[in-house]
Amino acid sequence: MPITVKDFTWQQSEKELYISVPLKGAKADWSNVLCAEEYVKVNFPPFLFEVFLFAPIDVDKSSAKIGNGVILLHLHKQEPCHWDALSTANLEKETMQRIREDAVIRTQEKAKEETQAKALKKREEQKYALEVMMKIDEEERKRIERIKEEERLKADEELERFKDQQSIKEEQRKIQREHQIHEEEKRRNATNNSRASKTSQLQTQEAEKPSRENVLPPARKSGSIKIQFTPRVFPTALRESRLAEEEEWLQKQAEARRAINTDNLEFQDLKEEEKNPEWLKDKANKLFAAGDYLAAVDALNLALRLNDKIPALYLNRSACHLKLRNLHKTIEDTSKALDLLTPPVPANAAARLKAHVRRGTAFCELELYVEGLHDYEAALKIDPANLSVKSDADKIRGIIQCSTSDDQ
């Protein structure tokens, strides 16, 4: 049974009512206040304070504060007047029980309404936040589309300028050819006139000397001309010469340049310069320098469909994939480039170095440090004096040693 608190104090004015209930040593966080129009209850175990009010109060304006060992109830009267007493006297038990139950029901309904209002407000806030995020995403998408459109227009402008420059150069070459033909005709006419003049003089001289016998020059003798070619000189010392491999590499490069596939129907609508893998490679380099890695990949994809025998196309596309964090594609492209960069000769050493470093970087990003170290060591065999590659290889070797010691 709770202990009923009776040593409370109360004061009133025409519109307000103040009730001070002592906590009697109970903890403030144990207190529970129930406030209805005709009923107020404060429960702080083992104590209980309840009062059946003399007149109705405005629950929404009323409040309760706990502090300094008391619970202060600040109640607002519905109708301004002076109460004769705080509570209604001589209430029957059934009436008191009904008032308690009504107060509990109204409090629960009010709490339910507040909970629903909070949930509705939360949903509205989430909806608003979602709309804001969608708007931000839409603006970001439009910004990206705008940047892409600007890059496309810029590329079209560059292409048009390139075409104009080619047209101007072609016109200049045409004018130069016409000038050369005109000069050649002038020289030919001058030569013919000179020959005609000499012939006329000779005929005049022969006519003046009829007794002199015409002597023809002897026929030219046949013979053979020997042609000697200067031998190719490679920078490699004779004792370390790899002439056969270098000749094989040069032959592969020549065959790769001729292996352009433009017979496919998908290439019929391309412009003439777009059918040139070298032009597409230069275009991809410009896009890469501008940070548009996806567009650079598209240009290199088209170049590889035209000619998949050029190792530089795979090597450049691997750099784009590495920037885009497409690590498996980076490994695939560098491996294809290394397959084409054979036989290993000084002419392709720089390309093989780049391929090993990029593939090793991709392996390390995938936490395959052993495979990455193999590629870095292969790069060091190509260029042992490269301090940057040597430093990265030492770091990878340290990571492998640390992981091995941790496993032990």
The model's confidence at residue 407, banded by pLDDT at 50, 70 and 90, is: low
Coil, strand or helix at 132:
helix
**Residue 49, beta-bridge partner list:** 42
Q: Residue 280 contacts by C-beta under 8 Å, 6 or more apart in sequence?
A: 274, 299, 300, 302, 303, 306
Instruction: Say what the pTM is.
Output: 0.43
Query: What is the spatial distance between Cα 362 and Cα 371, in angstroms, rounded to a whole number?
Result: 10
Residues 6+ apart with CB under 8 A from 19: 8, 9, 10, 40, 51, 72, 73, 75, 86
Q: Is residue 240 part of a domain?
A: no
The answer to whether residue 350 is domain-embedded is yes
For the stretch 50-74, pLDDT in tens is 888 888 888 888 888 887 778 888 8
Q: What would the mean pLDDT of 69-98 be, rounded to a whole number? A: 83
The candidate with the shortest Cα–Cα distance to 162, out of 290, 272, 303, 270, is: 272
Q: Can you give the CATH number for the domain in which 366 is found?
A: 1.25.40.10
- Decide: 23 and 44 in contact? Cβ < 8 Å: yes
Other Cβ atoms within 10 Å of 296 Cβ, number: 26
CB under 8 A, 24+ apart: contacts of 299-302 = 302/274
Most confident of 83-92, 301-310, 348-357: 348-357
For residue 46, give the CATH number of its domain: 2.60.40.790
Closest CA to 378 of 403, 396, 399, 404: 396
Rounded CA-CA distance 282/280 in Å is 5
pLDDT over 50 (residue 212): no
Q: Are 310 and 351 in contact (CB under 8 A)?
A: no
Tens digit of pLDDT for each residue in 297-327?
Answer: 999 998 888 888 899 999 999 999 999 999 9
Q: Rounded CA gap, 78 and 19, in Å?
A: 17
pLDDT surpassing 70 at residue 269: no
The percent of residues above 70 in pLDDT, for the chain, comes to 85
Q: Does 123 fall in a domain?
A: no
Residue 317's pLDDT is what?
95
* Pairing of β 32-35 and β 47-52: unpaired
Q: Is residue 175 part of a domain?
A: no
Q: In the listed set 28, 63, 90, which residue is the last one of a domain according to the structure?
A: 90
Q: Which one of 90, 115, 134 terminates a domain?
A: 90
Q: Is residue 143 part of a domain?
A: no
**Which range of residues forms the domain containing residue 341?**
276-407
CA distance linking residue 381 with residue 389, whole number of Å = 11
Of 41, 68, 90, the residue at which a domain comes to its end is 90
The alpha helices in 71-92, defined as continuous H runs, are none
User: Does 211 reside within a domain?
Assistant: no
Residue 23: DSSP 8-state: -
Q: What is the number of structural domains in the chain?
A: 2
Arithmetic mean of pLDDT, 192-218 = 65
Question: Residue 299: inside a domain, yes or no?
Answer: yes
Q: What is the pLDDT of residues 153-167, one digit of tens each?
A: 988 888 888 888 888
- Residue 265 pLDDT > 70: no
β-bridge partners, 62: none
H or E element in which residue 394 lies: helix 387-407
**Quick one: pLDDT at residue 65?**
86
Residue 172 has phi, psi (to 5 degrees) of -65, -40
Contact call for residues 31 and 43 (beta carbons, < 8 A)? yes
Q: In this structure, what DSSP letter does residue 172 have?
A: H
- Are 345 and 353 within 8 A, CB to CB? no
The backbone torsions φ and ψ at residue 47, rounded to the nearest 5 degrees and listed phi first, read -105, 155
